[in-house]
Amino acid sequence: MRDSLPMKNTSATPLGAGAKRSTPSGGLQAWLPRLVLAPSVAISLFFVYGFMLWTFVLSLTSSRMLPSYDFVGFGQYSRLMANERWWVASTNLMIFGVLFVVICLAIGSLLAILLDQKIRQEGALRTIYLYPMALSFIVTGVVWKWLLNPQLGIQAMVQSWGFESFRFDWITDPDMAIYTLVIAAVWQASGFVMALFLAGLRGIDDSIVKAAQLDGASLPRIYWRVVMPCLRPVVFSAVMILAHIAIKSFDLVVALTGGGPGYATDLPATFMYAHAFTRAQIGLGSASAMLMLGGVLAILIPYLYSELRSRKHG
């Protein structure tokens, strides 16, 4: 029966048809999201964009100990270009960056593929591979400095096993010290690449692999021709992050080599810090910071461009 429905006669409904008042907070509600975001936007505008501009302005001045606004055009940039130590730092970054990215990708993808073969204790292995990423680069630097110490570290240990002629003293060799940075950085970050790849592998539709198997492809072939192409986005973002870590590398150098021997392992990040904060060359330091920003943008912009494009089409 229609009138058997008791809820029809509850007149005290707070939300019923009678409550058709206009919402007093209607206007405020519409503005709340913007209001909530406003502080963050302001912070971002000031502390990120404003500071970038500020640093750029400083890089056009002759500032030394303290910021001064005595403009010298692009003088600091030409000083930078003529600075041998800057060129060492930039060359080091190229060597370090390329080796770091390539080796991390190689080790990371290999470990991920091997771990993907239904391995017992996979969880434990994964934990071991990845834990260095939780450490500070300072800790990593301190540990590897100790391991690479020729008198007490790996060299001494191998020599004590009877290989008297064994030499592993890169850290004190100006030509080789940059490679010790690569070793320590790879140790810290390759497990992370493994985790990225493993997540990517697990995300691949199993039926694609099954179909390739039915087509008679061998396991290595399946990985090379079928799986890897699916992981292209993973490779892409891994390269992005690794390159980014490389350009920002500062702590590791400070802790592992201190930029030495001499300034053989200087990177732009340590160069900038040294000039801006300890050598009273604020103008020069700012110019080097701007060039670092340029380096990051050179990697970032193509990445973002392809991301946006793929999202529009995807």
Partner 1 sequence: MANVIRRQTPAARLFRGLLYGVLILAALFYILPLVVMLMTSVKPLSEISAGSLLSLPQNPTLTPWTKAWGEACTGMRCEGVGGYFWNSFAIVIPAVLISTTIGALNGYALTKWRFKGSELVFALMLFGCFIPFQVVLLPMAQTLGWLGISSSRAGLILVHVVFGIAFTTLFFRNFYVGIPNELVSAAKLDGAGFFRIFWRILLPVSAPIIVVSVIWQFTQIWNDFLFGVAFSAHNTQPVTVALNNLVNTSTGVREYNVDMAAAMIAALPTLVVYVLAGKYFVRGLTAGSVKG
Partner 2 sequence: MATLQLHNITKRFGDTEVIKGIDLEVNDREFVVFVGPSGCGKSTLMRMIAGLESATDGDILIDGQRINDVGPADRGLAMVFQSYALYPHMTVEGNMGFSMRLAGVPKEERRAKVLEAAKILQLEPLLDRKPKALSGGQRQRVAIGRAIVRNPSIFLFDEPLSNLDAALRVQMRIELARLHDELDATMIYVTHDQIEAMTMADKIVVLHDGVVEQVGSPMALYHHPCNRFVAGFIGSPKMNFLQVTMTGVTPDGVAIRLPGGGERSVPVDGQHLAPNAALELGVRPEHLVLDEQGPLSGQIKVLERLGGQTSLYVQMDDELITIMADGDVAYRVNDTVHFGFAPERAHLFDTDGLALPSLEQHPLAGLTRQDNRAPGSPSEEPA
Ranges of H-type helices in 82-202: 84-115, 122-130, 137-147, 154-160, 177-202
Query: 49-54: long-range contacts at Cβ-Cβ below 8 A with a sequence spacing of 24 or more?
Result: 52/293
Residue with tokens 């590398």: 249
What residues between 289 and 308 interact with partner 1 by CB under 8 A? 289-290, 292-293, 295-296, 300, 307
Quote the least distance from Cβ 7 to partner 2, whole Å: 5
Q: Which of 5, 65, 82, 214 binds partner 2 (CB under 8 A)?
A: 5
Question: Radius of gyration over alpha carbons of the chain, in Å?
Answer: 28
- The secondary structure of 236-283 as a DSSP string is HHHHHHHHHHHHH--HHHHHHTTT-STTTT--HHHHHHIIIIIS--HH
Q: Which stretch binds partner 2 (CB under 8 A): 14-22, 140-148, 237-245, 281-289?
A: 14-22
Cβ neighbour number for residue 101 with a 10 Å cutoff? 22
Residues numbered 95 to 154 that lie near partner 1 (CB under 8 A) are 107, 111, 114-115, 117-119, 125, 127-139, 142-147, 152-154
Per CB under 8 A, the list member of 20, 118, 311, 312 interacting with partner 2 is: 20
Least Å from the CB of residue 146 to partner 1: 6
In order of 28, 43, 46, 48, 241, the CA distances from 37 in angstroms are 14, 10, 14, 16, 27
Q: How far is the CB of 8 from partner 1 (least distance, A)?
A: 21
Contacts of 182 (CB under 8 A, 6+ apart): 95, 96, 99, 100, 103
* Binder of partner 1 out of 50, 71, 91, 98 (CB under 8 A): 50
Listed ranges 4-12, 70-78, 171-179, 238-246: which one lies at the site for partner 1 (CB under 8 A): 238-246
Cβ at position 253, least distance to partner 2 in Å: 48
Per CB under 8 A, which of residues 22..61 are in contact with partner 2?
22-23, 25-26, 29
Q: Are 108 and 196 in contact (CB under 8 A)?
A: yes
For residue 120, give the 3-state DSSP assignment. coil
Number of residues that bind partner 1 (CB under 8 A): 98
Kindly state the smallest distance separating residue 3's Cβ from partner 1, in Å. 27
- CA dihedral (231, 232, 237, 242) positive or negative: positive
139 binds, among partner 1, partner 2, none (CB under 5 to 8 A by kind): partner 1
CB of 211 to partner 2, least distance (A): 28
User: Per CB under 8 A, which region of 45-53, 74-82, 86-94, 98-106 contacts partner 1?
Assistant: 45-53
**Binding interface with partner 2 (CB under 8 A):** 1-2, 5-8, 10, 12-23, 25-26, 29
